[in-house]
Every structure is written in structure tokens, then in C-alpha cells.
Amino acid sequence: MAAKSTTTIRQVLSYQPHQAAWFAATQTLFNRVCAFYFEVIQTHERVLDLSNKEALTALEKLTHATQNNPAPVMALQEVAQDIPAMFRRAAINAALGSARSFFSHLSTWRKRKEKALAKGKTFTERPPVPPRTWDKSVPFYVGQWRERTASSILLKIWTGTCWSWLKVRITGRELPTATELGSPSLIRRGKRWWLHTPIEKRFARPATIEQQVTTNPQTTICAVDLNLDDHLAVCTIQTVEGTILATRFIGHGREISGFRKKQLGRIARNRKQTGIIAENEQDNVDFWNKIKHGDEHIAHLISNRIVQFAQQHEATILVFEHLGNLKPTKGKYSKRGNEKRAYWMKGRIFAYAKYKAWNEQIITSRVNPRNTSRECARCHALVARYQEGQPAEGYTQGAPLVLCQRCGMQGHADRNASLVIGQRLITRYQQPSQGKPQAPLRAERVSKGTGVEVCQEAKSKEEPSSLQARHADRNEHGTAQDVSLGMEKHASDIPCQLRLPGES
């Protein structure tokens, strides 16, 4: 079975100011044609029963004059003249998309209304309205662009008075080869014009994790432990057999966390002075934007490096631990806000890494986070966690070193946790007879002091966390109360493989 991934290449265009006016004119014309076709569809609703291809033909027949069709019902010519065929088709498809969405909303609204009226209830919900203004970007179908190179492209542009081929210089990423190029679109972002080109990659669907883990002992797994303090991500590469191949420490968490804390402290002080939640004040908006853009950037950077590292070692599976719920801790506003943002960041890194990995045919999964930091990756006994220069005993949350009294394993705490995360995934798919003995399921709740309450999400391994991330996004400004980040709580679907010594 084939699988595909789509990404968009965004490139900046160089042009003269008068050419920017032409781009704007082309977009205005495009939207006028879109609006016209939306009207045509509204008066001929039945075309929506057709497939897109059939609808396109029907709409052209209704609007486009030819020798065989000299007097169309609603002539496009009366609205705009000399519209190139491919420009018209792009507009028809855009109008069809909007119309399908609008009429499907309208139809659900009608059904709800009927149902309510049938029950004798009053129905006050307003009907959906068709778009009042149109602001679509112009896609350039084949024929509307040519001579594309790494540094330039010819675009057929409406100058306001005529159609003209315009050579535009392109900067930014080069287009990768061996992919399917989609139609480029002219996109206005603020005052600048960009060229966005979707590229589609098709590949054989990778074997499932279960297949890979159970049939090939050489299957290579990249496990990631995300941290909020020192290293943002610690990645380890191991085979299903258990051979450890590589480790990488990524990021400077402390710097990032320090930057955030400083900004949050300033906002808190502002808030105190004004005595109101100052989220919307321009001053604070600037701070928030700074933080948000910084975090976005970091999440992309870290996720890129994770996927690159996995690729370098030909890993076919990427594994993280579940995030659990953010458990509010007491403390200063800036501290709480900082923790919340760091949590949001972990979700972002996971979501980005997941889609970037998929583009490289790497499957992503998550495992139960319970005690990943407390377990020895070699013998699975409880480890001692401690600071450098201190005795190797007890468990100091966040300390960098671990020592296993039972087998003598000694090393970096986050690296050990990363290895345990990888092992958990392998164990999940191994037959009980082949693997370690499985402990009975226990209630999933981490003891105090770890700061996380453990839960699994629905559809744990396939659900991208972008929704949560968006949800978190809305709450990130840290209103007075702490928010749970919209994760569903329900019983664990991941067996806990190990019962640690000393636990009942």
C-alpha cells in the first residue's frame, strides 16, 4: 500500500514595487472570478452532486462561450474578459471547495432546525452565511507558469490591463528532486509576496511497529527523552536486540528556560502594577510574541535534529514517552507559567518530530512514562540519582547522574531514561515468553515529587498532538487559574512491563 506525505516549500520572491501591484491585481481578479463562480453554483446547486471533475465541466458549460456553446447561461465574459483557461479552472476549483463547505454546513443547520421544530422546540441558531469577501491566494496551474529554475520562475500575471509573463527571482530553499511538484501559489504575507509550492512524496507504507519489532532483530529504534532543564532532548539509538549504537544530547534547556522566566517575571510585574490581567495590553503582547516565536523556533530546531539523528542511524521507529498531565505546582506566577510553557513545548517538539519523521518514513510512537527515569536500562532495578561530587544514593529529581547498585551501571540520567523508553516500546511488542516477565497492571499514578500525573491519551500512538498543542496555545498566556491541557484521561492501554523492587 502506498503512503504519501505533503510538505510546502516556501520561497521569498524578489520584485519591483510596481510588480507587487500586479500581484495584488492578479489576486483581486482571481477572487472576483471565484465570487462569480460561487454565485453560479448557488443558482445551480445541483452541480454539487457531481464529482469535482464533472462539476468543472458543467460550470464551464454554464459560463464559458465557445463555438458550440455561443450563449452560456451566465457568461463569465460579462464579469471579466480574457480569462486564461487555467486561471478560470483554478478559480472554479476554489469556488467549488468553498461552496461544498458552505452547503454542507447549511444542510446540517437545516437538519438541526427540522429536528428542533419537530420536537416543538424553538430554534434560534443562525444559518451559516456564504462568504461575503474573498481573499484566496492564486494557484498557478500548469500553463500559468513556466521555466522554473532554482532561482527564478515565469508567472502569467494580470497587470490590471493585460496578461503578461513576468520573470520573478526566487530566494530560499531549492526544490528537492524526485518529488511531485504541485501548483505553486502566490501568497501575500503582510507586505511581502511568497511562492508556496506543495510537494508530494509517495512511498511504500512502512511496516507497522509490531511487524518491524517482531520480525527483524536489527530494526533500529531512536528513543527520545525530552527534558525541561539541561538538555532539551536526549536521543539514543538501539536495535531490537538491545545493542546500543549511539547517543546525542540536543539543546540548551537552561538558557531557554532562563529567557522565558525573565520575560514572565516582567509580565507578572506589569500585572501587579496595573492590577488587571494585562494579557491584551500591547506591552505584554510584545513579550508574549517574543516568547512564542522563540518557542516555535526552538521546537522546530529540536525536532529537526531529532529526526536527522534518527535518519543518520537508519532508525525506522521514533519513540517518546507520553506527556501525562501537567500537574500545577505552587509558586510564583513566572515559575508556573514557565512550567506550563515548557510542557507545551514538549508537546510541540513531539508533534513536529512526528510529522517530520513520517516524511522520512519513520513511524513515531509513545510509551508509558512511568518511572522511566528511575529504572536501570541494563538490569531494570531502581537507580540512585545524584549530583556530581555527591554520594551515589537516594533519588534527587533532575540530578544528572545515575548509578545502579545491582549491576553497577553508571551514567547520565537522561541517557538512561532514553534507553528505558526505547526498551519499553520493544517489550510492548515482544511475546511474553520471549521478553521479560510481565508484571500485572497497576494503577498508573506516579508518586509525589515527579510533578506528573500519568495518563494515556485516546488512540495513544497515532493521534497527533497538534490539537492539544493548539489548545495549549490558547491557554499559554497563563490566566490566573491553571489549566489542564485538554488531554483525555482514561485507563492505561499500555501495560506496565516492570514491577520495580520494593513495590507491591
What are the residues binding Zn ion (CB under 5 A)? 376, 378-379, 381, 404, 406-407, 409
Residue 436 to residue 58: CA distance in whole angstroms:
65
Specify the residue, 248 or 374, whose C-beta has the smaller distance to Zn ion: 374
Residue 319 to residue 477: CA distance in whole angstroms:
30
Least Å from the CB of residue 220 to Zn ion:
23
Residue with cell 528511575: 374
Specify the residue, 170 or 383, whose C-beta has the smaller distance to Zn ion: 383
| 402 dihedral zone (left: phi>0; alpha: psi -120 to 50; beta) | beta
**DSSP 8-state symbol, 194:** E
Residue 190 to residue 176: CA distance in whole angstroms:
27
| Residue among 326, 255, 249, 235 at smallest CA distance from 295 | 255
Specify the residue, 58 or 409, whose C-beta has the smaller distance to Zn ion: 409
Residue 404 to residue 411: CA distance in whole angstroms:
9
Specify the residue, 176 or 408, whose C-beta has the smaller distance to Zn ion: 408
Least Å from the CB of residue 501 to Zn ion:
11
Residue 236 to residue 257: CA distance in whole angstroms:
24
**254 vs 2, 187, 342, 372, CA distance in Å?**
43, 37, 11, 22
Residue with cell 515468553: 433
- For residue 197, give the 3-state DSSP assignment: strand
Specify the residue, 48 or 409, whose C-beta has the smaller distance to Zn ion: 409
| Residue among 164, 183, 189, 171 at smallest CA distance from 26 | 164
CB atoms within 10 A of CB 4: 12
Specify the residue, 25 or 500, whose C-beta has the smaller distance to Zn ion: 500
Least Å from the CB of residue 426 to Zn ion:
17
Specify the residue, 3 or 379, whose C-beta has the smaller distance to Zn ion: 379
Least Å from the CB of residue 375 to Zn ion:
9
Least Å from the CB of residue 388 to Zn ion:
20
Least Å from the CB of residue 341 to Zn ion:
35
Least Å from the CB of residue 408 to Zn ion:
7
